[in-house]
Structure 1
Amino acid sequence: MRYVEEFRDPQAAKALLSKIEKVTAEIGATKEKPIHIMEICGGHTHAIFRYGLDRLTPEGIEFIHGPGCPVCVLPMSRVDECVQIAEKDNVIFTTFGDAMRVPGTRKSLLQAKADGADIRMVYSPLDALELARRNPDKEVVFFGLGFETTTPSTALSIQQAAREGLPNFSVFCNHITVPEPIKVLLDDPYMVLDGFVGPGHVSMVIGIHPYDFIAQDYGKPIVVAGFEPLDLLQSVLMVLEQIRDGRAEVENQYARIVPEHGNPVSIAAMADVYQRRPSFEWRGLGEIDSSGLRIRDQYKAFDAEEKFGIGYAAGQRSVQEPDGCECGAVMTGRIKPTACPKFGNGCTPEMPLGALMVSSEGACAAYWQYGGRRAVEAAE
């Protein structure tokens, strides 16, 4: 397939791996003293395991799996509030499919649907808008979830609802931003991070400069990367070369897609519709200042938190993780998924306990899908 196969070329991969091995040796990294590179995005985590990059790269490189999966960092309290809205009379609750099975304290959205709530999977907030048009006697709520990648589409849908005057459409806004949790990880004295592979799809929207603080304030290199195996290998090489040369810069490996300053139309829509929350709770990380977005007052008619009196509008409560679930430790890179006592032992894709096993981008799901029983046996 043109434009895909060229980024999966075995010969090109071998050439990159040879260069990676050479630079790793020049740095002096070994299995006992590795270079720790965090891939922030869950899509990168799955690509690393799908293509076996963790086994092909030298032992002197250790991949740390970051919190880059919006479903995975969704606190259980927000799932509870989704269910609370969905179970109200006269509500059609719409959501992306990967959020359906995330467990709350009482049930998941999928279980609430089985119990009779009108919950529908959609592929875009535009689908929710159309449902609102077709069902004027129903309150249609869209579960706005995701990083900067999906944030503009929700903003544009709210603008469209305002233009049309759709009083029965609202958004339960759970959009969050990537740079803020990276700072939290870098400030954690227990974290050992030498460099980052940054999420390309996020930078398609915001550009590369929101990551300048990583290089300037913390002296760590970051390379914004694509999602094919050669993208990732080249990005790892670029990080290693910066470390070898004593540099700390923000580099753009994904320049064929990512503009330096992002997408101006998307940025303008986000600025118009959203403002920063003082703080927002992340699963495994707790409350992080200015990391969440809320709908501005001029659009509050389309804010489900205001309309239904839930969430931060009503004083959101925090909820503890289930006993034995170590999603938080996995997302912060403290442990590998197989070190969680519930991995494969009460938490599997068929019966997930934590969000990292539910999400298609979760680290635990990646270990299970591409390691299977071997991953469980390695943990025992």
Structure 2
Amino acid sequence: MFEVYIHVPFCMRRCGYCDFNTYTAVDMGEGASRGNYANMVIREMSIVRDWQIAHGIDEPEAATVFFGGGTPTILKASDLVAMLNAVRDTWGIAENAEITTEANPDTVNADYVKELANGGFNRISFGMQSAVPSVLKILDRTHTPANVAAGIAVANAVGMRSSVDLIYGAPGESLDDWRASVRTAIDLGVNHISAYALTVAPNTKMGRQIAAGTLPTPDDDDEATKYEIADDLLSAAGLEWYEISNWARPGYESQHNLGYWRNIDWAGLGPGAHSHYGNVLDVEQSTPKEKTETVKTSGLRSWDIAHPRMWGQAINAGDMPWSGSERISNEENLEEIIMLGLRIREGLDLSLLGNTVDMARIQPMEDEGLIVIRDGRVIPTRTGRLLNDTVIERFFDACSL
């Protein structure tokens, strides 16, 4: 299985909590403008495909394509469709593939969404974050709850699946605020909801406000309680958890995200995007300093140059626009299998670990209610999901990696 991720790093404004690789400037120089961005990504596809062929990578058709950001829908719909068509021309797109874009509710209307649907998109994920105006204000979000409902309505009208993202733990958000947000998301009728705990990086506006004492620090116990509230409400509404932060009605899980958690191959395109390959003959690593290193490896992860201008300069020079890459050793691969498998409802497949696991040291976690061992798989309970880092650490301790 193979999938493609396309990063669109542009936003109308930067939210106070956001630490993603995003930029608000319309034009940052040659190769780094919104107007020319689609063409640059399409050129990167050609460079990446040539590199794949040279390094023995023969991927199947893309099973999923995901446009993330940033705000992909800040670009013209025709730009997103053009990039999707280029994926089809470069790798092919599997029949019934999941084609998703993230969207800010402020940036789409009926005509925009219809153009996406006509161009091959079949899923749209709205950044709702909260249904409470005071919480949206703290998060520096500009949309209103009504905009989210309007976006979902137009997506439904053209036959696209919809998902919404929520964030819990914002400073000043009460338990009742959070219940209202989850219930509002459920009432929208979507079949997929993501709920993420607020993570505050010190280099963000919110991080500086918390450091200065003008906003309270998010509380771990408060976030744990809100997670349990979400899990209870979503489960009661028929949305089952399938990954720690994601719930869906059966058959509506995000196949793209499941691909990440199943550790499959993906190509990441755009500034700061990461790629992952399980079997590479050798690697030519290009950096902004134009150094080259050749290594032999069985697996590889790489990441593109983060700043759009430098990323664009590399593409204009015909170079792979990597900031760096690293080999994935067998030990690291097993560690990733463990970390990813212990996040999902289908669980960690013990057969992938061979004889590296001392099950006598794993069993106590089942006795403590952190995991369930069933049919050769280890599945986290809700308590285990809340204490996921602890479960993973204890699993590592029980493995001879």
Fold equivalence (TM over 0.5): no
Q: Which has the higher strand share?
A: 2
Q: RCO higher in 1 or 2 (8 Å CA, sep ≥ 6)?
A: 1
Report the TM-score when normalising by structure 1.
0.30
User: TM-score normalized by structure 2?
Assistant: 0.29
Comparing both structures, which one devotes a greater share of its residues to helix?
Answer: 1
